[in-house]
């Protein structure tokens, strides 16, 4: 008996009791659908994060003042002005592969326009910083080098600020005040939405770095050259780890830190952020794998059960087939192909159901979903193996029947 005949005969006998076949497949259907849908949701979320990160560029390194949080204790935080504009200049000058260093300061404050008042975050930045952080302007213009050089009293507003102060009207040319300093609005930033931590990235105002230092009381008291963070941009193909090590050495040297003393700055690159995300999504994947394994196991046991019933019901048929010339392995293959066909059809239905579920989730919850071809291939392959594995025992049983007794079976 060739494979095509075997598959055709398997389909015939599954069609003979459609409801039973459908119910038997259900375990596999649910298992596969759950895997496909959950992987799609997980992959969609991860893909979104990766795209956000890619839009920032992975060849960026953020350097900030103060120490990293270690074991819950913030070490050396607030150490007065550990990072300066001169550090940035030195990094640019001395570390090979560094193309830009963009300093910034940030300050939480109230912004006033007319009789409207809004709490937001001010960034004192340079045009380089805007480029590096992918801050684009949709109305008016961005900050220029001239604004920075002359400490012009200009400001670029994020969408959330525009909405709250101007009710969505065009603010370009209008005045806002921070700490009673009037600033002229020259531009509006494009909408960025929430970042990966759920913060509103549109609730910001940008002013030239020099303007921030000159006009915000208390900001530049101890050291007029200080910065909160700086973005270091590396040329394509630069060894990031190598560059980071060099930056660290240089900053430690400039800050006169001795051996054994902790860094008084932190450093982070975006691929590290990606890696953290990756690790948490891997934990999720293990959970998914466990769910999938359990449902496929249950589905497999269902298949085995129904195949055993089928072998008993069809004892005479098996006897007849043996009598007219089927070899034992023909009978074995017939039942194996039947159980595998069951599980594969279940898997196919499960794939469709999983894709459908993912689409519904995407539509209703607004979550991004991404159907991963590898999850489909894996789910179908595993289902096939489940069909073979759990079909083996019933099939062996069928193939070992004595034809004489089988033909006498009622």
Partner 1 sequence: MGPHRVQALDNVSVEVRRGEFVAVMGPSGSGKSTFMNLLGCLDRPDAGHYRLDGQEVGRLSSDALAAVRNRRIGFVFQSFNLLPRQTAQANVELPMVYAGIPRAARAATALKALAAVGLDSRAHHRPTQLSGGQQQRVAIARALVNDPVLLLADEPTGALDSATSLEILALFQRLNRAGLTIVLVTHEPDVARFAGRVLSFRDGRLVDDRHQVPEEAPGLREAVP
Binding site for partner 1 (CB under 8 A): 1-2, 5, 12-13, 16, 316-317, 319-330, 403-404, 407
Which of residues 14 and 232 has its CB atom nearest to partner 1 in the complex? 14
Which of residues 294 and 404 has its CB atom nearest to partner 1 in the complex? 404
How near is the Cβ of 1 to partner 1 at its closest, in Å? Answer: 5
How near is the Cβ of 403 to partner 1 at its closest, in Å? Answer: 5
How near is the Cβ of 277 to partner 1 at its closest, in Å? Answer: 55
How near is the Cβ of 323 to partner 1 at its closest, in Å? Answer: 5
Secondary structure (H, E, C), the chain: CCHHHHHHHHHHHHHHCHHHHHHHHHHHHHHHHHHHHHHHHHHHHHHHHHHHHHHHCCCEEEEEECCCEECCEECCCCCCCCCEHHHHHHHHHHCCCEEEEEEEEEEEEEEEECCEEEEEEEEEECHHHHHHCCCCEEEECCCCHHHHHHCCCEEEECHHHHHHHHCCCCCCCCEEEECCEEEEEEEEECCCCECCCCCECCCEEEEEHHHHHHHCCCCCCCCCCECCEEEEEECCCCCHHHHHHHHHHHHHHHCCCCCCCCCCEEEEEHHHHHHHHHHHHHHHHHHHHHHHHHHHHHHHHHHHHHHHHHHHHCHHHHHHHHHCCCCHHHHHHHHHHHHHHHHHHHHHHHHHHHHHHHHHHHHHHCCCCCCCHHHHHHHHHHHHHHHHHHHHHHHHHHHCCCHHHHHHCC
Among 158, 148, 106, 108, smallest CA distance to 128 is for 148
Which of residues 101 and 334 has its CB atom nearest to partner 1 in the complex? 334
How near is the Cβ of 404 to partner 1 at its closest, in Å? Answer: 5
Which of residues 38 and 311 has its CB atom nearest to partner 1 in the complex? 311
Which of residues 361 and 395 has its CB atom nearest to partner 1 in the complex? 395
- Record the tokens describing residue 152, joined without a space: 């012009």
How near is the Cβ of 348 to partner 1 at its closest, in Å? Answer: 23
How near is the Cβ of 338 to partner 1 at its closest, in Å? Answer: 14
Which of residues 304 and 332 has its CB atom nearest to partner 1 in the complex? 332
Which of residues 86 and 330 has its CB atom nearest to partner 1 in the complex? 330
* Strand pairing class (265-269; 60-65): antiparallel
How near is the Cβ of 24 to partner 1 at its closest, in Å? Answer: 18
Which of residues 50 and 407 has its CB atom nearest to partner 1 in the complex? 407
Which of residues 319 and 387 has its CB atom nearest to partner 1 in the complex? 319
CA 339/CA 346 separation, integer angstroms: 11
How near is the Cβ of 303 to partner 1 at its closest, in Å? Answer: 21
Which of residues 218 and 325 has its CB atom nearest to partner 1 in the complex? 325
How near is the Cβ of 317 to partner 1 at its closest, in Å? Answer: 6
Q: Tell me the residue length of the chain.
A: 410
Contact 105, 228 (CB under 8 A): yes
CA 150/CA 359 separation, integer angstroms: 53
């Amino acid at each position: 008996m060739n494979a095509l005949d075997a598959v055709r005969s398997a389909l015939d006998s599954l069609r003979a009791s459609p409801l039973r076949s459908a119910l038997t497949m259900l375990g596999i259907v649910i298992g596969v659908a759950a895997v496909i849908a959950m992987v799609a949701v997980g992959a969609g979320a991860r893909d979104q994060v990766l795209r956000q990160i890619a839009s920032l560029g992975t060849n960026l390194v953020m350097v900030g003042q103060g120490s990293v949080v270690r074991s819950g204790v913030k070490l050396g935080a607030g150490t007065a002005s550990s990072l300066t504009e001169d550090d940035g200049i030195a990094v640019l000058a001395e570390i090979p592969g560094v193309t830009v260093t963009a300093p910034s300061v940030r300050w939480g404050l109230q912004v006033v326009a007319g009789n409207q008042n809004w709490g937001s975050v001010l960034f004192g930045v340079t045009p380089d910083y805007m480029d590096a952080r992918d801050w684009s302007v949709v109305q008016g213009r961005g900050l220029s080098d001239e604004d920075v050089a002359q400490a012009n009293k200009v400001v670029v507003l994020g969408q959330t600020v525009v909405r709250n102060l101007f009710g969505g009207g065009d603010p370009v040319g209008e005045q806002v005040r921070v700490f009673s300093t009037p600033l002229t609005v020259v531009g509006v930033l494009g909408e960025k939405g929430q970042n990966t931590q759920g913060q509103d990235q549109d609730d910001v105002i940008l002013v030239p770095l020099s303007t921030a230092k000159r006009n915000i009381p208390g900001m530049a008291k101890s050291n007029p050259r200080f910065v909160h963070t700086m973005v270091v941009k590396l040329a394509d193909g630069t060894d990031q780890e190598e560059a980071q090590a060099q930056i660290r050495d240089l900053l430690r040297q400039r800050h006169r830190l001795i051996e054994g003393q902790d860094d008084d700055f932190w450093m982070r690159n975006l691929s590290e952020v990606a890696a953290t995300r990756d690790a948490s999504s891997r934990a999720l994947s293990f959970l998914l794998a466990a769910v999938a394994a359990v449902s496929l196991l249950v589905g497999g046991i269902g298949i085995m059960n129904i195949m055993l019933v089928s072998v008993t019901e069809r004892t005479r048929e098996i006897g007849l087939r043996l009598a007219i010339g089927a070899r034992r392995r023909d009978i074995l293959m017939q039942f194996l192909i039947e159980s595998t066909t069951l599980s594969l059809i279940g898997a196919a239905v499960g794939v469709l159901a999983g894709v459908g579920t993912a689409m519904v989730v995407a539509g209703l919850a607004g979550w991004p979903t991404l159907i991963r071809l590898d999850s489909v291939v894996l789910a179908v392959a595993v289902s096939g193996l489940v069909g073979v594995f759990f079909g083996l025992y019933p099939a062996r049983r069928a193939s070992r029947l004595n034809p004489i007794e089988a033909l006498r079976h009622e």
